[in-house]
Structure 1
Amino acid sequence: MDQRLFFPATERNREPIGDLLSQLLPTSGAVLELASGSGEHAVCFQKLFPNLLWQASDPDPEHRASIDAWIHHQGLSHVMPAALNLDVEMRPWPLPQTIRGSLKAVVCINLLHISPASCTDAVLAESAVLLPSGAPLIIYGPFMRNGAHTSESNAAFDQALQQRNPQWGLRDVNTITSRATNIGFKTEDVIPMPANNLTVVLRRP
């Protein structure tokens, strides 16, 4: 049975995200992707950046099965490691030594708004511990800015999320960058993306 999952948003946003990552990622080393979901991003970016080792992860066993199925389907089993069982709030993160020793970036796509605020804190704190000097933490998704929504559609989306789970909802970029600064990150950029999304680029000094 084909265990691959297909997420429509992934097909829509992988090209603009990939274009941006090409400007931000190093030329070698390992990249840890948090909450990789279906795995469609992971295999796309491993093929786009063949000199990097892309470590996908997800706490959901169905998602991990999909990631591994995508890796096999794309003929990347000899290149990519299997999906890692990683819940960002369960620290320290259980990274294999091969990944931990060569980690050069952490990528987080569409996670923070579908998780509690404590998840955001965990992503920042553990990334600060694991990333070496000069390495980026790249966070993509819908956000608020200065306490306000950036579009009516984002406001409606935020309301719908909080109706599903009161702990979910769009995070404010200013809160994230402030917390990141407090634990040693520098905010390199906040980049507008298609469909009212943003990419927050934090870097270890």
Structure 2
Amino acid sequence: MLVSPQAERNWESLSLVLEDVLENQSHRQLSALELGSGTGQHVIRFAQKMPFVTWQPSDIKEESLESIKAYIAATHAKNVQQPVHLDASQPSEQWAGVSRDSCDVIVAINLLQYSSFKTAQGVFNGAGQVLKQNGLLMTYGVYAINGTITPSCNENLDAELRKLNPDWGLPDIDVLRQLAFGNGVRLERIIEMEDYFKCLIFRKT
């Protein structure tokens, strides 16, 4: 099993956000898709905290898929399905059997800053397709706002990401808002998190 120290630090605060935005739906069984599940630590913790949600983890890396399987086996998680290979930059028709209007929730944690703009386009296009009416998309990460990155530590992070891959970098909230709007999804809330991270809550309208 892979271990991410950051995931171990932030899963609880992310879980609280999810529990809050889903609180009025906890009386019914929900279906959630996690894009870029990584090690699998988040999805397992979310499943434990929110038994009314059935989770579908996904990733593009084989080592991540194996790690997620190991966490599922170790925790005997009943409401986490086996992970699927999913490339969010591809059209939603290729999203590993995830059907149209089938998800109540999509979660993408630290995905957009480690991805190309094509992936961001794919995430919002896919959300517009696979989310049910009033379904939610939550993205978590560090963002630019109106083309500006603050404070300096975030500027440094953006520069480091672009050194690793010129297509990576901090996404701009206003660009994401426009991408979402073009796909029938609107930005509903911005929640400030620790270390200048934010949760963006989008809803399919």
- Please confirm whether the aligned pair reaches a TM-score higher than 0.5, indicating the same fold: yes
Runs of 4+ in structure 1 off by over 4 angstroms are none
Counterpart-to-counterpart distance in 1, 2:115 and 2:179 = 17
Q: Which amino acid aligns with 1:72?
A: A
2:63 corresponds in structure 1 to 62
- For residues 119-154 of structure 1, the C-alpha deviation after alignment (integer angstroms, 9 at most, x for no partner) is 000000011011111111111111111111132111
Q: Could you say which residue in structure 2 is the equivalent of 1:84?
A: 84
Distance 1:84 1:45 in 2: 18
1:46 positional shift: 0.4
2:6 is aligned with 1:9: yes
**Structure 1: how far apart are the matches of 2:176 and 2:55?**
25
TM-score normalised by length of structure 2: 0.93
**Counterpart in 2 of 1:187?**
187
The answer on whether the counterparts of 1:89 and 1:118 sit within 8 Å (CA) in structure 2 is: yes
Deviation at 1:102, TM superposition (A): 4.4
Number of aligned residues: 199
What amino acid maps onto 1:95 in structure 2?
G
What is the root-mean-square deviation of aligned Cα atoms in Å? 1.3
User: SS of 1:195's equivalent?
Assistant: helix
Report the Cα offset of residue 68 of structure 1.
Answer: 0.5
- Higher deviation after alignment, 118-127 or 102-111: 102-111
Say which SS state the counterpart of residue 135 (structure 1) adopts.
strand
8 Å CA contact retained: 1:186, 1:203: yes
- Residues 51 and 196 (structure 1 numbering): CA distance in 2 closer, same or farther, change over 3 Å? same
How has the CA–CA distance of structure 1 residues 15 and 128 changed in structure 2, closer, same or farther, with 3 Å as cutoff? Answer: same
Classify 1:165/1:186 alpha carbon distance in 2 versus 1 (closer, same or farther; 3 Å): same
Structure 2 contact 101–132 (Cα < 8 Å) conserved: no
Identity in percent: 30
Q: CA deviation at 1:174?
A: 0.8
2:97 matched residue in structure 1:
95
